[in-house]
Amino acid sequence: MDFSAVSSALKAIGELTQEVTSLWGVDEQVEGLASELRWMQSFLKVADARKVDNDMIRTSVVEIRELAYDAEDVIETFSLKVASKRKGGFSNCIKRSACFLKEGCLLHQIKSEIEKITAKIKELARQLQMYDVSKFGVDGEGPSFSTVRREARRPFPHVMDDNIVGLDDDVKKLVTVLLNEQSECRVVSICGMGGLGKTTLAKKIYHHSQVVGHFKHLVCVYVSEHCQKRKVWEDILSGLHILSDEDRKMNVEKLAKKLSSFFEDNKCLVILDDVWNIDAWNSLKPAFSARETKSKILLTSRNKEIVSHADKNGFLYELQYLNYDQSWELFQKIAFPQTNSPGYKIDAKMKELGEGMVKHCAGLPLAIIILGGILATKYPSLNEWLKVSINVKSYFKIDKGQVLKDMLALSYDDLPPFLRPCFLYLSQFPEDYEIPVDRLIQLWIAEGIVSSKQEEGLIAEDVAESYLIELAERCMIQVRERDIATLKMRSFQMHDLMRDVCLSKAKEEKFFDIADQSNACQLSRIGRVRRVCVHKFIRLQCIKSPRLRSLLLFDEFLPNEELENTFPLTMHSYIKNHDVVILLAISVLGTKCRGIWKYMFNNFNFLRVLDYEGGGEAGCKLPNDIGKLIHLRFLRLRGLEFFTSKLPSSLGNLRFLQTLDLRIKNICRRSIHVPNLLWRMQQLRHLYLPEECSLKTKLKLGTLKNHQTLVNF
């Protein structure tokens, strides 16, 4: 259950009451609301610890979250108004009769809004009280358990990703096939179920010294269930360092030709990871149509038939499950953190329990590391191990296909409550996305999912990092990149099966929505939508959710296909030679972009997070209306390109901003002018300025007391 919203609302109330000594007549209402929320929070904690799984409670959690969000919005609007009045001398102002009436109205409105929310929460509480949660199950050791444990266990060797077991023979065999120039075989396929280690094996081959020496170019790309040939081909070109700006605008047939002639002329190894089916292969095939070539393709797949379809001389390699000894070896490395230290001896009772559980994993590496990860966080409590072991034995079916599902579900259920929303958040990123740690941490904090722990002297970023380490220890995420000097995690990925579990849990909890062409317009009808992520461009105007808090956009601002809709390709060549038409094109484009911005700024007034990931041309300028998004905590415009080089002065209104990424560009490569207003953002912690600021830009940042990151200053 995710009840981070309740904590977040309580925190906002706490801050408000600390900030202002008098709440001008709404004290009572605010206190009433806080006390209802506190009751709710403790009820949910008990229900969660006792694993009460009940429809009524589950739907209530969703409802409570909504109410908590509403409460936070009202409180925040109030505090903003108070702040602005204070600056102008609220008490003086209130004495003036003209203002008095207006303020009176405002107070009245806020009072009644708070009362309404409180009444709803009360009603919900009344219904919930009928459930005596204390009669369910027994308490888990609660959230504090893993915090305490974490301190005792560091550092964790297994997070270093050096735990590969076996595979040497597999690598040898495959390398021989790939290096054999006499053979006609052009396509090699590693097959097996998800989580068996296909990607791990393919990566080992990719880094193998003989392979690196043999092929002139090596490239590894991820295909995924939703194979998009253009993306895959562009990824290959980019992996080969031959992707140009023209290629991005080239039609797909030309792209395929470019690739296939490159493979003809150069000895390449292309690794296509996770090709789902024959259709996917067929769509990718045109890029690999070269006849006279020494290039080879290594693909991984769950489907055995692809290889014979792709190449009649193809080589099928069926990856085997780990045998018992290998399984145990892998399990030990993960579950017993100190196995590497000299003289360490595994406790006999734990060994017995561990061996019993490993048998249930059926030799599947992913199941083994997840089980190990769960147990590692409980080490060295024998009692906790016993509990997991009872679970594993009673619930796990013998069926190999089911083992993994059960294990993945168990790993989610075992998460302490504070880690659940953090984990659910991850499935908003597209499949196989390499998630950068610093951005994720900033997002978590902006969303109120993670906050500081003042009692322990930890700032929010440190807390968030420790949560992420715990997810890695549990093997729920896979570390991709580390800082060479500090060894801190820089980026990570999620196995696609883990992501599936994450996504389905997130859906169950109505944690967020992924908007696409088919559902965007209906979103507003599914109750209140608070978080939306967009993987592939849609018309944002379709989203009609005024209470939206978070919008993550992964595609380009206006992708090529969309531009083509505005301006068909045939016109492009014409445009090149005619200035008037260029002007026209710019103006049509500008209007389209402005429409998107304006819609967003005027309709999503409760946004806290706005993240433009894909960059791209975004019109003439960033409209001044951005100043209306006063609740924003996180604003990322990185990579967006504008015609003007000025940023609007209304940015200064965004007083709550914690992260501001202004690494925008000017289409004509001019330097960017940033107005000297950032000093007003007292909460700002992470600031990224444009790579090239204009000479006119003179920023005073001395007032920013919390800042931690300052890039391009």
Chain residues in the site for ligand ADP (CB under 6 A): 163-167, 192, 194-200, 300, 330, 365-366, 369, 478, 495
| Tokens 């790993």 found at | 411
**192/373 Cα distance (integer angstroms):** 23
**Secondary structure (DSSP) of 53-110:** --HHHHHHHHHHHHHHHHHHHHHHHHHHHHHHHHHT-HHHHHHSHHHHHHHHHHHHHH
Nearer to ligand ADP, 32 or 365 (CB): 365
Nearer to ligand ADP, 146 or 300 (CB): 300
Nearer to ligand ADP, 228 or 478 (CB): 478
Containing 291, the helix (H) or strand (E) segment is none
Amino acid (1-letter code) at residue 661: D
The rounded radius of gyration (Å) of the Cα atoms in the chain is 28
Please give the residue whose beta carbon sits closest to Mg ion in the complex. 199
Note whether 293 binds Mg ion by CB under 5 A: no
**327/272 Cα distance (integer angstroms):** 27
Q: Among 7, 29, 146, 199, which residue sits at the site for Mg ion (rule: CB under 5 A)?
A: 199
Q: What is the DSSP letter of 313?
A: T
Residues 530-589, interacting with Mg ion (CB under 5 A) = none
Binding at 369: pick from Mg ion, ligand ADP, none (beta carbon under 5-8 Å per type): ligand ADP
**335/350 Cα distance (integer angstroms):** 10
Strands in 478-482's sheet, in edge-to-edge order, are 435-436, 489-493, 478-482
**500/494 Cα distance (integer angstroms):** 10
Nearer to ligand ADP, 162 or 253 (CB): 162
Please give the residue whose beta carbon sits closest to ligand ADP in the complex. 197
**Of the candidates 669, 623, 667, 672, the residue with the CA atom closest to the CA atom of residue 649:** 623
| Tokens 């001019």 found at | 670
Binding at 614: pick from ligand ADP, Mg ion, none (beta carbon under 5-8 Å per type): none
Helix-then-strand count for the chain, H and E:
26, 19
Least distance in Å: CB of 702 to Mg ion? 50
Q: Applying CB under 5 A, which part among 195-203, 428-436, 599-607, 670-678 lies near Mg ion?
A: 195-203
Binding at 143: pick from Mg ion, ligand ADP, none (beta carbon under 5-8 Å per type): none
Nearer to ligand ADP, 52 or 407 (CB): 407
Least distance in Å: CB of 274 to Mg ion? 5
Least distance in Å: CB of 202 to ligand ADP? 8
Least distance in Å: CB of 429 to Mg ion? 17
Nearer to ligand ADP, 199 or 545 (CB): 199
Residue 369: CB atoms within 10 Å = 26
Nearer to ligand ADP, 198 or 665 (CB): 198
**567/559 Cα distance (integer angstroms):** 12
Nearer to ligand ADP, 160 or 711 (CB): 160
Q: Applying CB under 5 A, which part among 197-205, 451-459, 605-613, 693-701 lies near Mg ion?
A: 197-205
Least distance in Å: CB of 324 to ligand ADP? 14
Let me know: does 668 contact 643? Beta carbons within 8 Å: yes
Specify the 3-state DSSP secondary structure of 190: strand
Binding at 478: pick from ligand ADP, Mg ion, none (beta carbon under 5-8 Å per type): ligand ADP
Residues that bind Mg ion (CB under 5 A): 199
